[in-house]
Structure formats: structure tokens, C-alpha cells
Chain A
Amino acid sequence: MNDKGAILPAENGVEAAVVGWLKEALNKKVFDALLMPVQVPAGDSFAYLLLQNPALLENGSPLPPVMPVQGARAISRLTMRGNGSKRIAAVVRPCEARAAIELTKLEQAHLDNLWLITVDCPGVLPLSDYLDDPAAGAARFVEASQHWDRAPMRPVCQICHRFSMPASDLHVGTLGSADGAVFVIPGSPKGERVLESMDMPVDAALDDWAAQVKEMEEAQTERRQQAHADLRAGIAGPDGLLDVFSDCINCHNCQRVCPVCYCRQCYFESAALKLPPENYLTRSKRKGALRFPPDTLLFHIGRASHMILSCVSCGACEDACPMSIPVAQVFSLLADRAQETFGYVAGKSLDDPLPLVAYEMDEFHQVEQPYVEIYHKREVQDA
């Protein structure tokens, strides 16, 4: 991370400043295209557009009040088949940038010709809250984000501690900047070149920004740990866990919207779990009864085993859940603990190898069951 940033005047607010800056970049041909959230014509939602005409930027919104589509999914669809010939700037939230980095490691996205641009993120509203009244929702979001009040935001946004600069190429720092200006912070040589070609000198000290980010990060980390401890006390054990997940209606929306669930064929929708009636009858006999469709808990725990090491706690799953199951909160708890086990932070850097791809010879001896002496008990019994 750079300790100096460029100053971007923002008299009319952060959104207008960033949009104006991107428009200039597009006009100067620094970027050939922009991928960013734009308000839909109906005015009640936001969608990612791949923009090439600067005139269409008017409704662009770097910080929309909701996250209807996880930006990493947009980036992945755009660059899955390789780097494009044009330079694309993708304006996403920090969690979306981190998911894009995970997808790049999973070879589902290519970032060589794509610039990740992020903004200090106040969180987003729950999709259902916003859709009840989009105008009021937007006003509530603006009001809350000005004071960095996360109370109206989604539960995972309330406990987000990675709201600031991820490994993005350019980051817009809004915390700690003087009134009427924001920082544009280069995070990579690619990002520095952009600022250079736009004649934006990288000479402003970032001490205030860094100090405020650190302070907020610490407060949020504490909040997160507390929330996770409370959550775990509620769900730990078969009873608590099934109380939460037995509301599930097997729609698999959480899997479909998850940015890091990219498999072409999901195991949980595959023929491997579509079995002859005898199988279900046997299982039903063993348990006394079998819930249908079966394998609900297996879907959630199994999906966790597939994706929590790359989970960025973006909350897309919880927004998509029609039954209001706290999926994102449970998965953020699972993800934090599993990633801690592997000393890995999803989306932190393109250079850290995925935990299940890399290994060390000398590690995890705690999972190897020690065998110290010959276990005699059975032989004694048999004799």
C-alpha cells in the first residue's frame, strides 16, 4: 500500500467526484470501458453496465445503496475467457474486489487488463428493505453513510472489518479527508500509471486516512468477534444448527448468487444426490423419517467446505435467501475460523496461494491422530 495519494476535489459529494473522474478518464482514453453500477431506468435498482459512452455515466453510482449482483460475478463473466484487448476499469466494493481476486486465483477471471477501483464502503442496505421503498431506502442509505452509521445496513455489513482498501489498483479514500476532497490511492504499479497519465500528482499524505481506517477497523473487528461469539452460542450443536437451517426451502439461491461458487455443475444439484427410492427408504428407516427434498444440511455444510476458504463475507447469499436464514452470518463465522486455521485471508493478495492448492510438508500435525503404543485392548478380549 502506498503512503501517498492523489487529491480528488469532491465539492458535490463522493459519488459525483468519482463519476466525474471516471468520465475524464474515459474521455482521455485512459480506460476504454467502465464496468460499474448504474441506476436502472425504472429507478428502483442498480445493475452493472459495461459502459463505453461517457454520456451514459450520468446515473452511474460507485456506492449504490444495495448490492443486487455481486460485482465479482460481473467481472468473472466479463473476463472468464481471458484478458480483453481493451482497458477496463471496474468500480466495485471492497468485498467485490476481494471476490474478484479469489476468482482470478480460481481461474474464473483475468485481471491483467482490468483495473479494480474501490471506495471506502459504508455497507449496503438489505435488498428487501430497499425494495420496499427505493426512494426512502436511498435517502436512508445516504444519511447513514455520511455518519458511517451501519445500523440500517445488512447484518454482515454491520460487522464488516475489511471495508477499506483491498488489493485494488486504485482506491478512493473518503475517511479522514478534508471537506470537499477525497484521496485516490494507487495500490499497484498499474494504478500508479493511471494517475500519472491523468496528471494527478501522488503527493498527499495519507496519515489521517490510515489512522481513521485503522481506528474503524479495530472497532469493527471487536464488533465482529462479539457478533460471531453470540451467533456461535446460538447455532452450535445439532439442535441450534437445525433450528436455523430447517427453514431452508432448498432453492439454492445462496449458491447461485455466491461469487465464489463458480462450479459449472454443483455437486448438490448433480446426479450424485439423486438416488433410487431404495436409498431414501433405507435412510428413512434408519432415522425414522427423512425430510424431503433431502440433504438440506449436507448442502449447507458441504457448500461451506467448498467455498468458505474463499468466502469474502459479502452477504449476497443472505440477500438472496427468501426465508431470511442468516446464511451470510453463519458463513462469515465459518470463513473467519477456517481462514484463520490456514493463515489465509480471502482476497488479500493475488500472490497468496489458495489453501487447498498449496501445502507444506511440516504442518497441521494437530489433525494427525497420534499413535504412541500398540493398542492391546481388543487382542486381550479376543484371547
Chain B
Amino acid sequence: MSDEQEFEPRIIYFLCSWCGSGGGETAAAHHLHYPENVRPSRVNCTGALPAVHIIRPLIEGADGVVISGCYPGDCHYNDGNFRARRRVALVKSILDTLGLEPERVWFRYVAHGEGQRFVDTATEFNDHIKKLGPNPLKTRSDT
């Protein structure tokens, strides 16, 4: 895995069911491609995504977690994305303090119609994680 070309990261992409997933649908309608190792996972709202569900994949084998919800002001539940932003800030603070690479977590708004932005985010994050290398925690058996 030392060669950057050989390393295929495992990436979890949390998408809210209103905007993020919609971005994925739009991308599909336009036949846009994104890396196959990015695994989308739908949550009802990014504001309903517990911090534990961001941390758990990072311990259990993911190399990165990316989260996309509605733009500010567009949340189906009014304020879920603002709450998610605070929670991501909390997770990043914990990861930073413990030296666990907060840059393995990304948070970026994707609207329902933004298929291109969804695909770009998945692709860009994949390349970003490839540069970072494998997540050291995923090979630790003593977690």
C-alpha cells in the first residue's frame, strides 16, 4: 500500500435525504461518475447524524468521512445543517486534540440540483484522502 497509486481509500459519504441525496440523484440522471470506493449513506438530516457515527467508521476501517447536507437556509427541518456544522466542529476539535487527523472529515453543502458538485466532492475528497494515505487506526486491532 506504500505506492499512492495502489491505495484505494474507503470513504463514507453521509448525505442528507433532501439535498445531499438529491445531488446524487441529479448526478445519476446526468450520468456523472464518481469513485466507486466512495460509499454513500443516506441520513434523514445531517443534523440528525450523531458524532459517534462520524467517529466510528474512522476507527473501524474508513479512511475518510464526508458529509453533505442542504445549504444554510435550505434545511428541510430549518436548522439541521446549522446543528450539523456545530457537531462537525466538535468532532474536528476532538480529533485534532487527540492527533487523529481532523482533515479526514469533510463537511460541504450540496443542493438537490448540484449533481456536478456532488461528484466533484466525492472525487476531490477521494484524491485528498489518497494524498493523506491510509488511516492508521483502521489497521489497529486493539481499538
Residues of A within 8 A of B (CB): 232, 235-238, 240-242, 246, 267, 283-284, 286-291, 294-298, 301-302, 304-306, 308-309, 333-334, 337-338, 341-342, 355-356, 359-361, 363-364, 366-369, 371, 374-375, 377-378, 382
Considering only CB atoms, which chain B residue lies closest to A236 in the complex? B99
List residues of chain A with CB within 8 A of the CB of B120: 371, 374-375
Q: How far is the CA of A286 from the CA of B143 in the complex (A)?
A: 13
Min CB distance, A182 to chain B, in Å?
A: 38
Query: Would you call B43 an interface residue if the criterion is a C-beta within 8 Å of the partner chain's C-beta atoms?
Result: no
- Which size bracket describes the interface of B in this complex? 35 or more
Contact of A302 among B51, B88, B124 (CB under 8 A): B51
Which residues of A sit under 8 angstroms from B50, Cβ to Cβ?
267, 305
Evaluate contact between B52 and A302: CB separation under 8 angstroms: yes
Q: Say which residue of A240, A295, A359 sits within 8 Å of B86 (CB atoms).
A: A359
The answer to the question of B133 belonging to the interface, with a C-beta cut-off of 8 Å to chain A, is no
Tell me which residues from 106 to 128 in chain B have a Cβ below 8 Å from any Cβ of chain A: 106-109, 116-117, 119-121, 123-124, 127
Asked whether B132 is an interface residue with its Cβ less than 8 Å from the other chain, the reply is no
Q: Report the bound CA distance from A28 to B100 in whole Å.
A: 58
A278 to chain B, nearest CB (A): 14
Q: How far is the CA of A371 from the CA of B121 in the complex (A)?
A: 8
| Chain A nearest Cβ from B53, distance in angstroms | 9
**Are A287 and B86 touching (Cβ within 8 A)?**
no
Q: How far is the CA of A375 from the CA of B124 in the complex (A)?
A: 7
- Tell which of B97, B116, B123 touches A377, judged by Cβ atoms closer than 8 Å: B123
Q: Within the complex, which residue of A290, A298, A382 is in contact with B141, where a contact is CB–CB below 8 Å?
A: A290
Pairwise interchain contact A298-B89, C-beta atoms closer than 8 A: no
- CB-nearest residue of chain A relative to B34? A378
How distant is the Cα of A363 from the Cα of B82 in the complex, in angstroms?
9
Measuring CB to CB, which residues of chain B are less than 8 angstroms from any residue of chain A?
33-35, 50-52, 55-56, 59-61, 72-73, 79, 82-83, 85-94, 96-100, 106-109, 116-117, 119-121, 123-124, 127, 136-143
User: Given the complex, which residues of A lie within 8 Å of B137, measured CB to CB?
Assistant: 238, 297
> Looking at the complex, which one of B60, B83, B92, B119 makes contact with A283 (CB distance below 8 Å)?
B60
Q: Are B52 and A242 in contact (CB under 8 A)?
A: no
Chain A residue, CB-CB nearest to B85 = A364
- Taking a contact as CB atoms under 8 Å apart, the answer to whether B106 and A287 are in contact is no
Residues of B within 8 A of A240 (CB): 99
Question: Does more than half of chain B's interface fall in helix, strand or loop, or is it mixed?
Answer: helix
A338 touches B94 (CB 8 A): yes
B59 x A298 contact (CB < 8 A): yes
- Inter-chain contact A238/B91, CB cutoff 8 Å: no
The 6 residue pairs across chains A and B that have the minimum distance between CB atoms: A236-B99, A305-B51, A289-B141, A375-B120, A359-B82, A237-B99
A324 vs B51: C-alpha distance when bound (angstroms): 27
User: Does A301 contact B123, Cβ atoms closer than 8 Å?
Assistant: no
Return B122 CB to nearest CB of chain A, in Å.
Answer: 9
Which residue in chain A gives the minimum CB-CB distance to B107?
A367
Minimum distance in angstroms from B95 CB to a CB of chain A: 8
Q: A283-B61, A291-B143 are in contact. Are A337 and B93 (CB under 8 A)?
A: yes
Please, which residue of chain A has its CB at the minimum distance from the CB of B60?
Answer: A283
Most buried by A among B60, B83, B87: B60
A304 to B95, CA, bound (A): 11
Contacts beyond the supplied A287-B143, A367-B88: 17 A-B pairs with Cβ under 8 Å = A238-B137, A242-B142, A246-B142, A287-B61, A287-B139, A289-B141, A297-B137, A297-B143, A301-B55, A305-B55, A305-B91, A334-B93, A359-B85, A359-B86, A375-B121, A378-B33, A382-B33
| Chain A, Cβ-Cβ closest to B96 | A337
| Contact of B141 with A291 in the complex, beta carbons under 8 Å | yes
User: What's the Cα separation between A295 and B58 when bound, in Å?
Assistant: 12
Among candidates A236, A305, A368, residue contacting B85 with C-beta atoms closer than 8 Å: A368
Whole-angstrom distance between the Cβ of B69 and the nearest chain A Cβ? 11
Residues in A whose Cβ lies below 8 Å from that of B123: 375, 377-378
Task: Report the minimal beta-carbon distance from B114 to chain A, rounded to whole angstroms.
Answer: 9
